[in-house]
Structure 1
Amino acid sequence: MSKIELSPDAKSSIVEKIQDYFESELAQEIGQFDAEFLLDFFTREVGAYYYNQGLYDARAIFEERLSTIDDDIYAIEKEVK
Structure 2
Amino acid sequence: MAIELSKEARAQAVASIERYFREHMEEPIGNVAAAGLPGFLLEEVGPTIYNRAVLDVQERLQARVSEIDLEVHEDEFQFWRKHERASRGRK
TM-score with structure 1 length normalisation?
A: 0.81
Unaligned runs of 5+ in 1: none
Q: Which amino acid aligns with 1:18?
A: I
Question: 1:79 deviation in Å?
Answer: 4.7
Q: How does 1:1-80 map to 2 (within 5 A)?
A: 2-74=1-73, 76-79=74-77
User: For residues 11-43 of structure 1, what are the alpha-carbon distances to aligned partners after superposition, in whole Å with 9 as ceiling and x for unaligned?
Assistant: 111111111111111132112211111211111
Partner Cα separation in structure 2 for residue 17 and residue 77 of structure 1: 57
Q: Which has the larger radius of gyration?
A: 2
Number of equivalences? 79
Flag the 1:79–1:12 CA change in 2: closer, same or farther, 3 A. Answer: same
Partners of 1:49 and 1:77 in 2: how far apart? 45
Task: Give 1:72 deviation, angstroms.
Answer: 2.1
One-letter identity of the residue aligned with 2:57: A
TM-score between the two structures when normalised by the length of structure 2: 0.73
After the TM superposition, which parts of structure 1 deviate over 4 Å for at least 4 consecutive aligned residues?
Answer: none
Per-residue displacement from partner, 1:19-71 (whole Å, max 9, x unpaired)? 11111111321122111112111111111001111101111221122122122
Aligned-residue CA RMSD in angstroms?
1.9
d(CA) in 1 for partners of 2:72, 2:22:
56
